[in-house]
Structure formats: C-alpha cells, structure tokens
Amino acid sequence: MPVFNIIQAVNDALRIEMRRDSRVVVLGEDVGKFGGVFRATSGLFEEFGGERVIDTPLAEAGIIGTAIGMALYGLKPVPEIQFADFIYPAFDQIVNELAKFRYRSGGQYTAPVVIRTPYGGGIRGGHYHSQSPEAYFAHTPGLKVVIPSNPYDAKGLLLAAIRGEDPVIFMEPKRVYRAAKGEVPEGDYTVPIGEAKVVREGRQVTVLCYGAMVHTVIEAAEKVAADGFDPEIIDLRTLLPLDTEAVLTSVRKTGRAVIAHEAPKTCGYGAELAALIAERALMQLEAPIVRVTGFDTPFPYSLENEYLPSPERVAKAIRDTVRF
C-alpha cells in the first residue's frame, strides 16, 4: 500500500474520478499546466486536456459562477480557490446561489459543485493566506463542509464529495499538506461524509478537533498521557453535517469537553459544539466546556506561532479540565 501525503491523496482522488466519470471537470487559477500552487492538480492537464482542466482568470466569483452553471447543465465541476482567504469574492455565489438551488427548485435541480480550498495557518502566509473561514459556510443550510486531517480521509472524503449531488466546501489543511503522511489504498474507496472518527480512545476528557488541529491535539495528548491523563480525541472530519451522536456519546462517557480550532474564538465553530453539548449533555458534564482557539484578531504574520493553538495550550486545557 503506497504512503501518500495529503497533496498526493487529493491528486489521486481527482485522477480516479476524472477517469471514472467524464462529467468531472477541474477549474481554477493555475490548476492546468502549472499543476496548482500546491501541485494538487499536477499531471491532470497532460492526461485530460484543457477542456477538463481549465485555467481561469483571477476572479473567484467568476470561477464559482461558472462552476454552478456547469453543474446545472449536467457536469460535475471541482473548482479550486487557491487560498481560502480569497473565497470571499465568491461568497454571494456560494451562499445565495449554490447552496439554495435544490431548495428553491423543489428538488428538480441539484448543484453538485465541490469547492476545494487550502485553509489555515502554519506556512507564514500572513493575514491574507492563513485564515480559517469554515464557520461562515457551516452557517449556510444547503452546503456540506468537509475538512480532512490525513491522506486516507482526504482521498476517501473527496471521492465521496464528488459523487454526491450536493455542494461541498472541501477545506484542506495546508499546514500539513506534506507533513501528514499515511498509507492510502490504491484505487477506489470512499469515506462517508458525516461520520466522525475516534482517533484516540480515552476516559477522562473529550477533545474535539478537525484538520491540522488533529495533529496538534495528538501531540498534546502524548504530553499529558505521560502524566497519567487519558483524553479521548475525536476528529470531526465533517462540520456540516456534523456527527452529533459521536460527539455526544464521547462527552457523555468522559464528562468533560475541550474544543480546539485555529479560527478566532468568537462565533467560531467551537461555539456550535459547545452549545450542542450544553443543550444535550449538560447533566453528564463534570467541568466547564473549554475552547482552545485562535485569537479575535486578524491573523498575524510575525506572531503566527503565538496565534495558533499549540500542543502546550491544548495540554494545559486538558489538565485544567480534568482537575476541575
């Protein structure tokens, strides 16, 4: 079984699905001959040609608007937004058009557009190349929001997303694009959208995370385990739809919850998780819910390591919550 990083896993998924289904097309800035700024589409132009791997102008609203039109006429477009920070010019197309076609047409039309975009910090990209805007899209009915943390999930979730009939925001954690490696089966398989994964079983506290933060939390768990703490780690994998039963089952077992994500704390996705737990597992809690997040500031350049939740910050939250 080959060992891939996330970039290779995404590339393999796109290649498999483009070979399997001639309706699948890729479009975006530099995705063609250049192979994408992170090389996620490398080699696709040479195999499938310029009619299926389309270089576009630097116009995100145009990229997504074009993809919506393609989907309505029977294609399966997979547009790439080069950095999640640049998705905002296309926000109206995504939340007012793409997310609503199935509903507004009474189910007559679907819009199977899978928007791939790298997100998050960790590459010293400053405040225009490091944002985590997942909460904006998780707030939008009609969308699915998927965030893999490792190569196996990246390939399987992307294949599942493309084969669906609903629009998907597929956010890829660029900090671990090449750092996260793992065995990935050759050929075809899917990972179901809407199912979380227990990364580490534990009995004292549930730690909820996704994307690159999963690796930070695993490192934190290794630190505290040496002192006798026993956290359970849940990789959400999908924010919308959320695997609520996996979250609640774990929290009811451990009686405690720590939530970790890179985005700012105020109205971040962790707030939704905290509300869910408070509404449906309050009587099982033995300590307050704790969020370990980015700060409520623009993403800094020189203070990137201070902004991003570190293993030390997560470890402290685990210790404090268990000791409460």
Q: Point out the residues that are catalytic.
A: 129
Q: Is 232 helix (H, G, I), strand (E, B) or coil?
A: strand
Residue 46 to residue 26: CA distance in whole angstroms: 13
Q: Is the separation of the CB atoms in 284 and 252 below 8 Å?
A: yes
Q: Is the separation of the CB atoms in 35 and 43 below 8 Å?
A: yes
Which residues make Cβ contacts (< 8 Å) with residue 302, sequence separation at least 6?
A: none
* Rounded (to 5) percent helix, strand, coil in the chain: 40, 20, 40
The structure tokens listed for 182 are: 């793992």
Which residues make Cβ contacts (< 8 Å) with residue 16, sequence separation at least 6?
A: 159, 187, 188
151 residue type, one letter: P
Residue 168 to residue 232: CA distance in whole angstroms: 28
Question: In the block, which residue shows the tokens 């809690």?
Answer: 285
